[in-house]
């Protein structure tokens, strides 16, 4: 019954995703959530984030940030990254996932999504038909409405992990 919320993939961190391999598999664009996906909530881009975007560019990936946060926060993160971005994105609405693909010149067959929230990030990506990767949130200190969603996420992930154990790992 929770299957419809399952992410396509689950990683301990954005920084362990094998982007080179995914590019080889045909993916050409990556849409990223920012907070708790690339950096802790509200933090500017750190060295690790900057290196990731340089790496993505070298691989040949187009990228776009989509955040439900306001412009000031997104701009601040993007200052030293200099990629495309969409703020106030209203995830899980699919509208801005589509806009991000338009900006990158990709479509749902060759776009990846990476985010830390199941019911906003991943749910929107799933309904947009985009291959989605859920990552473990970077920072445990979160707003109360997120804490409640985390509880529900844990329930879904419990069943997801149970299902993963039943099939051979890849
Ligand atoms: Mg997030």
Q: With beta carbons less than 8 A apart as the criterion, state whether 74 and 65 touch.
A: yes
What is the helix (H) or strand (E) element at residue 63, kind and residue range? strand 62-66
The rounded Å distance from CA 27 to ligand 1 centre is 22
pLDDT band at 166 (very low <50, low <70, confident <90, very high): confident
The rounded Å distance from CA 73 to ligand 1 centre is 13
Whether residue 29 is preceded by a cis peptide bond, meaning omega within 30 degrees of 0, is no
Q: Is the pLDDT of residue 146 over 90?
A: no
Stretch 12-24: mean pLDDT, rounded? 97
pLDDT band at 92 (very low <50, low <70, confident <90, very high): very high
Mean pLDDT of the chain: 93
The rounded Å distance from CA 118 to ligand 1 centre is 10
Cα separation of 152 and 137, whole Å?
A: 14
Q: What is the reported pTM? A: 0.87
Dihedral (C-alpha) 137, 138, 144, 147: value to the nearest 10 degrees? 30
Report the pLDDT value the prediction gives residue 155, as an integer from 0 to 100: 86
The rounded Å distance from CA 56 to ligand 1 centre is 20
Cα separation of 119 and 125, whole Å?
A: 10
Sorted by sequence, the CB contacts under 8 Å of residue 6 that are 6+ apart come out as 156, 159, 160, 163
Report the pLDDT value the prediction gives residue 15, as an integer from 0 to 100: 97
The rounded Å distance from CA 72 to ligand 1 centre is 16
Q: Is the pLDDT of residue 169 over 70?
A: no
Query: 134: which strand partners?
Result: 10, 115
CB atoms within 10 A of CB 105: 10
Q: With beta carbons less than 8 A apart as the criterion, state whether 72 and 37 touch.
A: no
pLDDT band at 143 (very low <50, low <70, confident <90, very high): low
């Amino acid at each position: 019954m929770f299957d419809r919320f399952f992410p396509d993939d689950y990683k301990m961190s954005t920084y362990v995703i094998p982007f080179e391999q995914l590019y080889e598999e045909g993916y050409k664009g990556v849409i990223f959530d920012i907070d708790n996906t690339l950096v802790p909530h509200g933090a500017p881009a750190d060295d690790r984030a900057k290196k990731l975007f340089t790496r993505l560019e070298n691989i040949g990936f187009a990228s776009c940030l989509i955040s439900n946060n306001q412009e000031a926060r997104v701009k601040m993160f993007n200052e030293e990254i200099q990629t495309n971005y969409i703020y106030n994105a209203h995830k899980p609405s699919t509208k801005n996932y589509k806009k991000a693909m338009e900006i990158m010149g990709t479509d749902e067959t060759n776009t990846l999504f990476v985010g830390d929230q199941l019911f906003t990030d991943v749910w929107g990506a799933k309904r947009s038909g985009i291959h989605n990767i859920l990552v473990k949130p970077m920072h445990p200190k979160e707003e109360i409405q997120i804490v409640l969603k985390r509880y529900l996420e844990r329930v879904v992930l419990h069943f997801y992990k149970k299902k993963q154990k039943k099939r051979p790992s890849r």
